[in-house]
Amino acid sequence: MTKHIFVLLLLSISLTLGAKDRSARQNPVAKGEKVTKAGGGYTFTEGPAVAPDGRVFFTDQPNDKIDVWSEDGTITNFCKSCERSNGTYFNKKGELVACADLHNRIVAFGMDGKQRILTEGFNGLHLNGPNDLWIAPNGGIYFSDPYYFREYWETGHKEAQDVRGVYYLNPEGKVSRVIGDYKQPNGLIGTPDGRILYVSDINDRKIWKYNIQPDGSLGSKTLFAPEGSDGMTIDSKGNVYLTNKTVSVYNAKGEHITNIEIPEQPSNVCFGGKKRNILFITARTSVYILKMRVRGN
């Protein structure tokens, strides 16, 4: 009996050590690296997006501006009046596409400072307030449209759409609603091959996974993670990064890998740098960076 218990104890220790070893191998953070502050003095940072050259553009929505972080550690201003942009993403033309909720629309900023409107309504009504977006390989844009009241809206502004949904703006410029059953949609990210979309229902504390259909519609809705998220990104291994009290990381199977502690509560995240191996985190009054052993896309 004693021998049997001893064998079971050794087996338990072996399984525990094996689990810890697997967890260490899966951890996407580079060995010995720590989160460092890259910039501060903001009111609420959001919407990081990596440019083709590795720079990261991010918004400070309450101050209506977009700044740019470079790998040499410098931060410069890109735009001082950006229609209260929130989530952003670069398209193949090199334009910074943004959820600009001053006038509840999706806009594109050229690097020359020129701006164009991509869409500003659905079914004849203005959007509630676009929040976050992802651009598929074919150029189609998925964006969330929750409702967060803004003090800068004109008097009388109200929630126009009958649901707080997620929309698809196809390459031809037609908008369709692809999700209409959420409490409050927010962050979203797709896989580089354009086959899968992850979307956060932040108020219901769930991340849902969808198969992207050829026409841009979504199918095969399945629960991916039991927590909501403000912003999201994905790495080359298929790991999905969520922002809540920490940056939490799940592998492609929906298994939790690790939590990355940030000095301030994170709002959004992306991979930056020329090698796309620097995790860039927007977090309230500051932005932070962390060297990774995986790369973004």
pLDDT digits (tens, 9 = 90+) for 105-146: 999 999 998 999 999 999 999 999 999 999 999 999 999 999
pLDDT of amino acid 28: 96
Sign of the CA dihedral running 277, 196, 245, 75: positive
pLDDT of amino acid 25: 58
Model confidence pTM above 0.95: no
pLDDT tens-digit map of 60-97: 999 999 999 999 999 999 999 999 999 999 999 999 99
Strands in 232-234's sheet, in edge-to-edge order, are 232-234, 240-243, 247-250, 256-260
pLDDT tens-digit map of 211-270: 999 999 999 999 999 999 999 999 999 999 999 999 999 999 999 999 999 999 999 999
Sign of the CA dihedral running 245, 246, 251, 252: positive
Which fold is adopted by the domain 34-291?
A: Neuraminidase (2.120.10)
Rounded to whole angstroms, how far apart are CA atoms 52 and 59? 18
Q: Is the pLDDT assigned to residue 17 strictly greater than 50?
A: no
Strands in 268-272's sheet, in edge-to-edge order, are 36-40, 286-291, 278-283, 268-272
Residue 5's pLDDT band, with cuts at 50, 70 and 90, is low
Q: Is the pLDDT assigned to residue 156 strictly greater than 80?
A: no
Name the residue ranges covered by the structural domains of the chain.
34-291
Q: What is the DSSP string of 155-215?
A: TT----SSS-EEEEE-TTS-EEEEE---SSEEEEEE-TTSSEEEEEETTTTEEEEEEEPTT
pLDDT of amino acid 3: 57
pLDDT tens-digit map of 161-218: 999 999 999 999 999 999 999 999 999 999 999 999 999 999 999 999 999 999 999 9
Rounded to whole angstroms, how far apart are CA atoms 99 and 119? 10
Q: Is the pLDDT assigned to residue 291 strictly greater than 70?
A: yes
Beta carbons within 8 Å of 130's beta carbon, 6+ residues apart: 86, 87, 99, 100, 101, 104, 105, 106, 143, 144, 145
The one-letter amino acid at 118 = L
pLDDT of amino acid 58: 98
Give the mean model confidence (pLDDT) for residues 2-23: 46
Which residue is it, tokens 């050829």?
Answer: 214
- Quick check: helix, strand or coil at residue 25? helix
